[in-house]
Amino acid sequence: MQIGCCWFDIKRTTLSNQQNETSWKMPLVEFVVLEHLARFRDQVLSKEQLLQLLPQEHRTPAKLQEAIDRLRFFLGKQSAQLLEAIDDQGFILHTRMKASINHTFSGPLAGMTKQKYGLLIAQILLLIIFIHSISEPIESINPLNNQEIHTSSGIVSYYSVPNEGGSLADIEDLSRFFIPQLERCDSVLTVAT
């Protein structure tokens, strides 16, 4: 029977890794554990169930865990994921590989869970916001020409003409044309922005 990259031969009590072409004549404890996990694939077998299957002299939680660790080691890094410990319940041998959190990232982030990765991103964003809030903008747009307009009703309005890429002479000419036009108006509609 195929278990990941390994072939489990129940009659010969061997586990053969097809990737590195090695074969392992399994000790009794490892064989019994793997045989029952394989027989009840995709079902959780409790630690108590597995312990009851072991010979009396090997019926300890430490021996069971040692057998699981040896099986995972021989299965190899990829296939070892098929043999999963279920918290405080027991073990399960999956038929297919599950999507693993660790395969989401590579390099230094390989061991990071999605939750920790999300927390790291949030911290980086907060750091960027903090740095932005304490730094002053490098370039600001300052008006080059402030103009006061006095209307006949006595209201004084201030209009600034910002520099938007034009030359200073062009902006001053525009202001000289714009201001007299506004002063001639009886009322000026303002648009809220």
Q: Are residues 86 and 148 in the same domain?
A: no
Higher pLDDT, 62 or 190: 62
Any domain includes 189: no
User: Do residues 7 and 89 both lie within one domain?
Assistant: yes
Same domain, 89 and 156: no
- Judge whether residue 42 has pLDDT over 60: yes
CATH code, domain with 12: 1.10.10.10
CA atoms within 13 Å, Cβ hemisphere of 56: 0
**Cα dihedral across residues 148, 152, 155, 157: positive or negative:** negative
Residue 32 belongs to a domain: yes
Q: Are residues 10 and 88 in the same domain?
A: yes
Give the contacts of 160 (CB within 8 A, at least 6 positions apart). 143, 145, 146, 147
DSSP one-letter string for 132-193: HHHSPPS----EEEEEEEE-TTS-EEEEEEE-SSS-HHHHHHHHHHHHHHHHT-S-------
Provide the domain limits for residue 166. 143-183
Give domain status of residue 105, yes or no.
Answer: no
Tens of pLDDT, residue by residue over 76-104, are 887 888 888 887 788 888 888 765 544 45
* Share of the chain residues as helix, strand and coil, in percent rounded to the nearest 5: 45, 20, 35
Q: Rounded distance, CA 43 to CA 22, Å?
A: 28
- Quick one: 6 and 85 in the same domain? yes
**Is 0.85 surpassed by the pTM of this model?**
no
Looking at the domain assignment, is residue 151 inside a domain? Answer: yes
Total domains in the fold of the chain: 2
16: Cβ contacts below 8 Å, ≥ 6 apart: 6, 7, 9, 22, 23, 24
- Residue 36, pLDDT above cutoff 70: yes
93, 114, 134: which is the final residue of a domain?
93
21 in the same domain as 84: yes
β-bridge partners, 156: 150
- What span, in angstroms and rounded, lies between the C-alpha atoms of 4 and 80? 8
> Does the residue 134 lie in any domain?
no
Residues 11 and 71 in one domain: yes
Q: Are residues 7 and 84 in the same domain?
A: yes
Higher pLDDT, 29 or 188: 29
Q: What is the pLDDT of residues 105-156, one digit of tens each?
A: 555 666 667 788 888 899 999 999 888 888 766 665 555 555 566 666 666 6
Domain boundary among 66, 93, 120: 93
